[in-house]
Amino acid sequence: MVSFRWILAAILLAAAFPSPGADYHQPPPLDAAPQDKYGDLVRMGHAIVTDTPNKASRYTGPGNRLSCTNCHLDAGRKGDAAPLWAAFVAFPAWRMKTDRVDTFDERVQQCFRYSLNGIPPAFGSIELIAIASYARFLAQGLPIHSETPGRGFPLLGKVGLDPNRDRGRTVYRQRCLSCHGEDGTGQAGMPPLWGLGSYNKGAGMANIPTAAAFIKANMPLGAPVLTDQEALDVAAYMNSQLRPPDPRQGLLSIFR
C-alpha cells in the first residue's frame, strides 16, 4: 500500500514541476472578438492564418499548399508551436537572419516570402493588417517585450550523434508517412513537407535544428513521442528532399 507520505511527496513534486504549458498564456477565444471593425479584422486574420492559400492567395507562391497554422499550430494559439501571441509582444527585435531590427509586420512578410514561397504583403495591405490584428487580439494581457513562456519551439538537448537522413527515413516511415504521405506531399488536411507545394530553402523550417525542435515538441500531431535524436534525424531526411529554392540565392540553389 502506498503511504500518505509518498502521496504527499508526489503532490509537492508535481506542484514544483508543473506540466509543460501549465503557465503559458491563454489567449481569448475567437468569439470574444468585438463586433466592430477591429473585430472584423481579427476574424479576417484568423481566416488567413487557417486557410492562407485561399484567403491570401495573391501573396502565396504558385502551388504552395501551406497555411500559417501548419507551423503556428491551433491557429497561432498553441505554446511551443511558434504562437502568434508570443511573437506579437516580442517585436520589434533584432534577428540574426536579417541582421537588423525587424517589426512584427516585417516578420510576417518574411513568412510569406520563405515559408509560403510567395511575396511579402505590402505594408498597409488588408492581409497584413488583419494578421497583426489577430495576433494582437491573441496577445491580450501580455506585456510588450516580455520573454513569454511557450514562445517559439523548445530547445533540444544534446544528442550523441549528428542528424542522419537515413535513420530519419525510417522514423518518417514509422511516424510521419500516414499523415504526410509516401512522397511527403501531404494528404487531406495535412501539409506537404517537401515538394513545390511546401516551404522553400530560405524558410526557418529548412534549418534542421529548427525543424527538429518543432517536430520534437509537436509531432506526431497531438501525441509527440519522438526522442531528440529521432527528431533531428527525421528533420534531416525531410530537409534533404526537393523543395523550392531560397529566393535570395536564385534558382540553382534548388540543387544544393
Q: Would residue 223 count as lying in a domain?
A: yes
The pLDDT > 70 percentage for the chain reads 89
pLDDT value at position 18? 39
pLDDT value at position 21? 54
Least confident of 17-31, 40-54, 237-251: 17-31
Written in H, E and C, the secondary structure of 70-133 is: HCCHHHHCCCCCCCHHHHHHHCCEEECCCCEEECHHHHHHHHHHHHCCCCCCCCCCHHHHHHHH
Average pLDDT across the chain, whole number: 91
Q: Would residue 225 count as lying in a domain?
A: yes
Amino acid at 102: D
Q: Would residue 99 count as lying in a domain?
A: yes
pLDDT value at position 149? 95
CATH of the domain at 206: 1.10.760.10
Q: Would residue 11 count as lying in a domain?
A: no
pLDDT band at 68 (very low <50, low <70, confident <90, very high): very high
pLDDT value at position 23? 86
Domain end among 120, 138, 156: 138
Dihedral through CA 206, CA 113, CA 177, CA 47, nearest 10? 140
Contacts of 83 (CB under 8 A, 6+ apart): 25, 27, 72, 76, 77, 138, 150, 151
pTM for this structure? 0.88
Rounded average pLDDT over 10-39: 73
Q: Would residue 68 count as lying in a domain?
A: yes
Q: Would residue 201 count as lying in a domain?
A: yes
Rounded average pLDDT over 73-88: 98
Q: Tens digits of per-residue pLDDT, 88-115?
A: 999 999 999 999 999 999 999 999 999 9
Give yes or no: residues 131 and 218 share one domain. no
Neighbours of 164 (CB within 10 A): 16
Domain hosting residue 187, numbered range: 165-255
Given a contact cutoff of 8 angstroms between Cβ atoms, the answer to whether 238 and 177 are in contact is no
Q: Would residue 2 count as lying in a domain?
A: no
Give yes or no: residues 61 and 116 share one domain. yes
Q: Would residue 220 count as lying in a domain?
A: yes
Q: Tens digits of per-residue pLDDT, 173-232?
A: 999 999 999 999 998 889 999 999 999 999 999 999 999 999 999 999 999 999 999 999
Rounded average pLDDT over 123-137: 98
Give yes or no: residues 190 and 131 share one domain. no
Count of domains observed in the chain = 2
pLDDT value at position 3? 44
pLDDT value at position 229? 98
pLDDT over 60 at 237, yes or no: yes
